[in-house]
């Protein structure tokens, strides 16, 4: 697996000069001073998260409990953990692709004040995998907890594509509207990129119980003098990053999770599902097989309909996580 090592790429300058001040300001504005628990998904080398936490501490927000999650089991350097551990309780969750973020955090349900996920969603090809992360985040947050989702703005990717910039090679557009391509970090390093329309991300978050609080586009002004591309974007009013702030709404109805032992058809398309631990649920339709993990999250939508998301997680990472959403009639 390729690791995201610290680099002197312009994206790192952009993170330090553009994202960090905007994100820390948004966090400070939405959090009262005092001891807080912090969850970061896709931490990478942890340098950004460390910087962010030090900014928050300067403003009186003391992070007393940190959970760092990354799918890459080799990415977090031990010395960063030691530094972080000197200030707070640090939990590290790393997992190979066939395991999924969540099992290790069940103890932190309803316990996180601030959750962060930065420059990660565009690395995740599968919508079901991304929505499962959001669903787990929703459960992990305390009521009134806030989640910040930072990524490249779709308008920026569109701009790179239209201007035939060597930064981005277009591959295709999925039926969902997600733009697929390759992002060129520099002459030699590339990453696959899945850029979802903002409306898709917001619909996913609302359907999992989050309330949308703010969508912010940090100004590129601090970088405009450094690189002509940033200057051109700034002049054209095209944002490079978007920061979406959501809060845990009070729309939660139910959550169940288990390894499926047996499924039996019920009337009118419903299925009776028995879990290995003896619990059972009745769900509309079924797309899960014995031995797979079934995860169910039901919430009320802002218009009072109910929204049930079902995820089926295969036993091994060879097959993909699948999901379906069922929305009740009014």
The answer to whether residue 218 forms part of the interface with ligand SAM (CB under 6 A) is: no
The answer to whether residue 75 forms part of the interface with ligand SAM (CB under 6 A) is: yes
Report d(CA 52, CA 30) in Å as an integer: 15
CB 140 within 8 A of CB 108: yes
DSSP 161-224: HHTT-TTEEEEEE-TTS-EEEEEESSSS-EEEEEE--HHHHHHHHHHTTEEEEEEE----HHHH
Nearest CA to 258 among 99, 139, 101, 103?
Answer: 103
Among 27, 52, 66, 70, binds ligand SAM (CB under 6 A): 70
The answer to whether residue 42 forms part of the interface with ligand SAM (CB under 6 A) is: yes
The answer to whether residue 48 forms part of the interface with ligand SAM (CB under 6 A) is: yes
Report d(CA 308, CA 312) in Å as an integer: 13
CB of 88 to ligand SAM, least distance (A): 18
CB closer to ligand SAM, 123 vs 256: 123
Interface with ligand SAM: number of residues (CB under 6 A):
19
Cβ-Cβ contacts under 8 Å for 277 (sequence gap 6 or more): 258, 259
Candidates 23-31, 35-43, 154-162, 168-176 — which segment interacts with ligand SAM by CB under 6 A? 35-43
Q: Helices 78-87 and 47-58: crossing angle, nearest 10°?
A: 20
Residue 312's Cβ-count burial label (10 Å; 0-12, 13-18, 19+) is: buried
CB of 1 to ligand SAM, least distance (A): 7
The answer to whether residue 132 forms part of the interface with ligand SAM (CB under 6 A) is: no
Candidates 20-28, 64-72, 303-311, 317-325 — which segment interacts with ligand SAM by CB under 6 A? 64-72
Place of tokens 């028995």: 274
79: three-class secondary structure by DSSP: helix
The answer to whether residue 183 forms part of the interface with ligand SAM (CB under 6 A) is: no
Candidates 67-75, 140-148, 195-203, 280-288 — which segment interacts with ligand SAM by CB under 6 A? 67-75
Candidates 116-124, 151-159, 197-205, 266-274 — which segment interacts with ligand SAM by CB under 6 A? 116-124
The answer to whether residue 194 forms part of the interface with ligand SAM (CB under 6 A) is: no
Place of tokens 């760092």: 68
Residues found near ligand SAM in the complex (CB under 6 A): 4, 15, 41-44, 48, 69-72, 75, 101, 118-120, 123-124, 129
């Amino acid at each position: 697996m390729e690791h995201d090592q610290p680099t002197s790429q312009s994206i790192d300058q952009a993170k330090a000069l553009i994202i960090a001040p905007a994100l820390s300001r948004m966090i400070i504005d939405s959090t009262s001073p005092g001891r807080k628990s912090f969850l970061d998904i896709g931490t990478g080398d942890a340098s950004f998260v460390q910087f962010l936490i030090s900014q928050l501490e300067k403003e009186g927000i003391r992070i007393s409990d940190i959970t760092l999650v990354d799918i890459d089991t080799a990415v977090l350097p031990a010395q960063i953990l030691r530094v972080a551990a000197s200030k707070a309780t640090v939990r590290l969750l790393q997992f190979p692709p066939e395991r999924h973020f969540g099992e290790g955090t069940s103890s932190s349900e309803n316990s996180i004040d601030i959750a962060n996920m930065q420059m990660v969603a565009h690395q995740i090809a599968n919508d079901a995998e991304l929505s499962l992360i959001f669903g787990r985040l929703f459960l992990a947050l305390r009521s009134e907890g806030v989640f910040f989702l930072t990524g490249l703005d779709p308008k920026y990717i569109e701009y790179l594509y239209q201007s035939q910039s060597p930064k981005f090679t277009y591959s295709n557009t999925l039926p969902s509207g997600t733009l697929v391509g390759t992002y060129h970090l520099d002459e030699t390093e590339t990453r696959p990129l899945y850029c979802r329309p903002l409306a898709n991300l917001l619909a996913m978050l609302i359907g999992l119980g989050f309330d949308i609080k703010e969508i912010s586009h940090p100004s590129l002004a601090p970088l405009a003098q450094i690189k002509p591309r940033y200057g051109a974007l700034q002049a054209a009013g095209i944002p490079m990053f978007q920061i979406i702030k959501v809060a845990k709404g009070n729309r939660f109805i139910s959550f169940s999770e288990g390894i499926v032992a047996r499924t039996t058809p019920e009337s009118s398309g419903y299925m009776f599902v028995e879990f290995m631990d003896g619990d059972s649920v009745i769900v509309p339709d079924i797309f899960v097989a014995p031995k797979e993990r079934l995860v169910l999250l039901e919430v009320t939508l802002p218009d009072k309909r109910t929204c049930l998301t079902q995820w089926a997680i295969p036993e091994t990472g060879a097959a993909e996580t699948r999901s379906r959403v069922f929305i009740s009639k009014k």
